[in-house]
Amino acid sequence: MFHMMIYMYKKSGDYAQARKLFAQMSDRGIPLSTVTFNSLMSFETDYKEVSSIYDQVLHHLIAQSDNHQFCFP
């Protein structure tokens, strides 16, 4: 559900709110998935921001593999 909210904020042009919601997910311990990251990157036009999100994906997947927890859809 969160990934749809992120997607809709991005689609409406409210990038700050989409990033805020994404950060809140992490703070609340809500599992992130590849769908969540893809929703965040879907409308991004700034290469540096996409690169930053992609780095977060990699770090998240490495942490999950260390804990043997995968959240792939």
Rounded Cα distance, 49 and 22, in Å: 14
Q: Are 37 and 56 in contact (CB under 8 A)?
A: yes
- pLDDT by residue (tens digit) across 31-67? 877 788 777 777 777 778 778 877 877 787 777 666 5
Q: Has residue 12 got a pLDDT over 60?
A: yes
* Cβ–Cβ < 8 Å for 31, 1: no
Give pTM, 2 decimals.
Answer: 0.62
Residue written as token pair 């809709």: 8
Q: Is the pLDDT score of 1 beyond 70?
A: yes
Q: What confidence score (pLDDT) does residue 67 get?
A: 59
Please report the pLDDT score of residue 71 as a whole number: 52
Whether 26 has a pLDDT exceeding 80, the answer reads no
